[in-house]
Structure 1
């Protein structure tokens, strides 16, 4: 189950280092490149709660195997893609498969271990697998892209998932209790389509401006779909997300903080990969190795520092400290010169970002459940995970739009333009982290203290 969660989370980040190679091979424009990352996150986040409900209705082992099989097949078609359309369609199918598999994997862990210390340890290991995957993904991406080529960041999933499906059939017991009930498919479709329309509007604003009919049309469609989602949830006898869940201010704050934390993190890894390879001349392998400055501190912070801080300070202060550290690193990146050097310019910032994301991962898991009754804990965890994935996708769209616009006014050279855009994007990402820290200290800290 940890392997399933790891590989699902890994594919959020594994494409980042490969983006310049994908762009060169498929002839993509700057504004199109982000969709290789965003599409997966939007589908995964938008359908995650629906995937959990389908697991309850049709069997968790069945949904786990089906989701992983779809993930493997779409990974194969992504690696074989010769066009932008096929690659994005494959990433969408990967997201759907991941949304079926991820909640089922957690449900199997919960069902396997009795409530108490054993289950807490198991969920802790499960969470650590997910927490380390995003950081490890960029390193793996660099090694595979520099070696056999970027299609192998997708091909490698196929044999791994095949082994997983075989192990699931052998070791995971069949579902004894299947809870048949209504499935809120309309809610899942409207919220996913609405968010996609909003992100597409942000993407189109780069070329057409915010007042163009194209941008305004997609903005209006996205808002209308999200209003429809709210109406559907209000009237549905079995809503995807009961609106009563939004009466918990701490859960609302945890959702907002999760969205902001991963908006800053995924946007930073997205644009840093382009900066290092297109402006600084790094190879894919060197870019992947550079990301060890984020990955190693993130793992150490999550495994060693976070438990100590959570015991001494609580979730609110831990999140505030973590995002303050991350914001400091992002503000450092917002001042780097053209032709920046790794050790004086990138390393201190990467170290801060790694510490911030590692501490935030564990603190968010605690913050999400403050004041939540046990019977609603599964839904609360799913909502925070959804906020994380969607926040990452929206964050990439916003930061990429700002970076592209910020680099267009620079005429001294492509490296200088890319660096200028990167600095603008880093300022926006720092703003996300500072807003997350402010929310944590004002809402989460107060709730944790009470």
Structure 2
């Protein structure tokens, strides 16, 4: 029996009896270029984490300042994503993509050669800005290069797999480069990738922009960017210090005020950065919320298990990083299976709900871990299954949040989806840090954090089912009766 493939028409989902189509010749080149850039940027989120103590000693960072190597990157990557997604709609997605890749190459070269903290942090800021420019532009180029349907779902599946696997790969690659060569190669690898992408991309990527260029909503751009920066800063401060710290609640409060002002502006300006009608779409609003939590739960679980492997099992940082290779394989498999599962289920929202439910079950299995290394096989099996399920949910989120929109709004939809990804990656670790508190090395406290993680997965799955799957089923029943 041939599995039905999902096709989106406005708000309605219909099914056609086709299997996921193969990606064609030129499309393979487009996919290779876009996925190479996206994977490299995903790796950058975690590639320096293992090497932070070594970098601090060599470059001259105080211990309290090491966090800014990661925080400066995350702030810019999350805070400027929505703005650059809209700029890509205006200036051209290929143009913004190429400019971002060039900035990535230059900033990575500067970071690899940095001899003092100021230059290194400046390089990480520029890398974050490059990520904010390239990621939504690449996603918009991908969604406009592949027609809505099975081929786009397959492309989004591969993109989701590599983006999620990049976070885990970064931890492994960072440990290997630091041990075998030097942490500076974590930057220099990006230079080689940027040169290769810039050599090939102009030959295979066609320019993509709406027929009528939208105007840039400057007040909206300023408030949403400042609001997102404040929220990410507040969350990061909560993880580094405590939720009661003034930097944490001050950042979150300022972010809430700025984002409320942004929504007010968007409801009144003639050419809003984010049209309110898009945010009113259930697929966009709930799809992106699911995306935030899908990324947050998986990246925060990696953080918790990294502590478990080192503090409870007594593994070295490199051995702990290598243990997540199984999780990486699971995410790649999930990215391949995701589009097929969407085709079989006929609705990407069902894939989100199913993926998060299985992820919750796999995470709950980790509650059985004790203090002995005998639990390592269980950890590897559970993280593999959870990785597969998480990527199924991520692929479903990407398809849900970007389908049924005209090409002129794909940059915006891609910016929203990418922002959800960046916020999720940035949000997860501070939340888990707050749960762990001072007893980070205690096995019982770590199991509590694992339980919280599983609960978030299950709550999100239920929310997606109630807001997207059940209403979709009701509409389909009504449509069938009318027909």
TM-score class, shorter-chain normalisation, is 0.7 to 0.9
Q: 2:192 aligns with which of 146, 159, 164?
A: 159
| Aligned pair partner of 2:134 in 82, 89, 101 | 101
The alpha-carbon distance between structure 1 residues 222 and 334, as it changes in their structure 2 partners (threshold 3 A), is farther
**Match for residue 455 of structure 2 among 407, 419, 431:** 431
| Contact 2:169/2:328, CA 8 A, preserved across alignment | yes
Unaligned regions of 5+ residues in structure 2, if any? 1-33, 476-483
In structure 1, the residue matched to 2:40 is 7
Give the Å deviation of 1:36: 4.2
Tell whether 2:467 aligns with 1:443. yes
**Worse-superposed segment, 203-212 or 267-276:** 203-212
Q: CA RMSD in A?
A: 3.5
Query: Can you list the C-alpha shifts for 1:206-227, whole angstroms capped at 9, x where unaligned?
Result: 6875555554433332222222
The aligned residue for residue 8 of structure 2 is none
Contact 1:322 1:359 in 2 (8 A): yes
Deviations 1:96-129 (A, max 9, x none): 1122222333444456567777666655555554
Conserved 8 A contact 1:28-1:84: no
Once the two structures are superposed, residues 258-302 of structure 1 have per-residue CA deviations (whole angstroms, 9 ceiling, x without a partner) of 111111111122343344345544344423321122111221222
- Asked whether 1:379 is paired with 2:412, we answer yes
| Greater Cα offset, 318-327 or 7-16 | 7-16
Secondary structure at 1:448's aligned position in 2?
helix
Superposition pairs of residues 278-427 of structure 1, within 5 angstroms: 280-304=313-337, 307-308=340-341, 310-312=343-345, 314-334=347-367, 336-338=369-371, 340-341=373-374, 343-369=376-402, 376-407=409-440, 416-417=441-442, 419=443, 422-427=446-451
Paired residue secondary structure (1:241): coil
Q: Which stretch of the first structure deviates more once superposed, 113-122 or 419-428?
A: 113-122
Work out which of the residue numbers 250, 267, 283 in structure 2 matches 1:217. 250
* Long gaps (5+) in structure 1: 408-415
**Superposed counterparts of 1:114-263, under 5 Å:** 125-172=158-205, 180-205=213-238, 210-211=243-244, 213-263=246-296
- Residue 430 of structure 1: how far off its partner (Å): 2.1
The farther-off stretch of 253-262 and 318-327 is 318-327
Q: Structure 2: how far apart are the matches of 1:428 and 1:34?
A: 25
State the match for 1:413 in structure 2: none
CA distance in 1, matches of 2:263, 2:142: 32
Aligned 8 A contact 2:223 2:261 in 1: yes
Indicate if the aligned counterparts of 1:325 and 1:355 stay in contact, CA closer than 8 A.
Answer: no
CA offsets, 1:336-379, max 9 Å, x none? Answer: 33454563452233123212222112221233256656764553
1:73 aligns with 2:96: no
Matched with 2:309 is 276
Instruction: Quote how far apart the aligned CAs of 1:398 are.
Output: 1.4
Name the CA shift for 1:263/1:155 in 2 (closer, same or farther; >3 Å). same
Residues 383-422 of structure 1: per-residue CA shift (max 9 Å, x gap): 2221121122112221123223343xxxxxxxx44x4553
Shift of the alpha carbon at 1:255?
A: 1.2
Closer/same/farther in 2, CA of residues 108 and 326 from structure 1, 3 Å limit: closer
- Check the 8 A contact 2:150/2:339 in 1, yes or no: no
Three-state SS of the structure 2 residue aligned to 1:235 is coil
* Alpha-carbon separation, structure 1, partners of 2:364 and 2:114: 37
Mapped to 1, the partners of 2:240 and 2:169 lie a distance apart of 34
| Greater Cα shift, 68-77 or 9-18 | 9-18
Whether contact under 8 Å (1:146, 1:283) holds in the other structure is: no
